[in-house]
A and B are shown apart, each in its own frame.
Chain A
Amino acid sequence: MRVAYLDPPLERSPGGGCRRVDRGRPGRYDGRVAQPISEDEVAHVARLARLELSQAELEQYTSQLAQVLEHAADIEALEIEGVPPTAHPFPLVNVLREDVPRPCLDRDEVLAQAPDVDQDRFRIPRILGEAP
Chain B
Amino acid sequence: MSGTGPEGWEVVIGLEVHCELRTRTKLFCGCPNVFGDEPNTNVCPVCLGLPGSLPVLNREAVELALRIGRALHCRVQSSVFHRKNYFYPDMPKDFQISQYDVPVNADGWLELPSGKRVGIERAHMEEDTGKTTHVGGGGRIHEATFSLVDYNRAGVPLVEIVSAPDLRGADEAREYVEELRAVLVATGASDGKMEEGSLRVDCNVSVRPEGTTELGTRCEIKNMNSLRSLSRAVAYEAARQVEVLTSGARVVQETRHWDEADGRTHAMRSKEEAFDYRYFPEPDLVTLSPSDEWISAVEAALPVLPAERRRRVAEASGEAPGSEAVSTVVRLDLDDLVMAASSAGADAGLALRRLANEVAGALADAGRVSLDPAAFVELVRMEQDGELTPAQARRVLKELVAVGGAPRDIAGRLGLRSLGSDQLSSVVEQVVTDNPREWERFAGGDDKLVGFFVGKVKAATGGNADLRAATELLRGRRSQSGPSTT
Contacts and interface: CB of A to CB of B under 8 A. Distances in A.
Direct chain A–B contact by Cβ atoms under 8 Å: yes
Interface string A98-132: 11111111010011000000111111111111111
A64 to B, nearest CB: 21
Contact of B283 (A87, A96, A111, A122): A87
Contacts of B45: 105
A46 to B, nearest CB: 12
A25 interface: no
B23 interface: yes
A88 B39 CA distance: 36
A50 interface: yes
* Secondary structure type dominating chain A contacts: loop
A95 B269 contact: no
Nearest to B30: A102
Interface stretch (B3-11, B140-148, B343-351): B140-148
Interface stretch (B82-90, B160-168, B175-183, B463-471): B82-90
* Secondary structure type dominating chain B contacts: loop
B86 A125 contact: no
Contacts of B277: 132
B405 interface: no
Residues of A in contact with B, size category: 35 or more
B39 A121 contact: yes
B60 interface: yes
Contact of B44 (A104, A119, A128): A104
A129 B269 CA distance: 5
A97 B145 CA distance: 41
Given A97-B57, A126-B145, A132-B255, A105 B43 contact: yes
Contacts of A110: 40, 43, 48
Nearest to B269: A129
A47 B146 contact: no
B206 interface: no
B150 interface: yes
A33 B65 CA distance: 46
Interface string B409-426: 000000000000000000
Interface of B: 23-25, 29-32, 38-45, 48, 56-62, 78, 80, 86-90, 129, 132-135, 141-142, 144-151, 222, 255, 257, 268-274, 276-278, 281, 283, 285-291
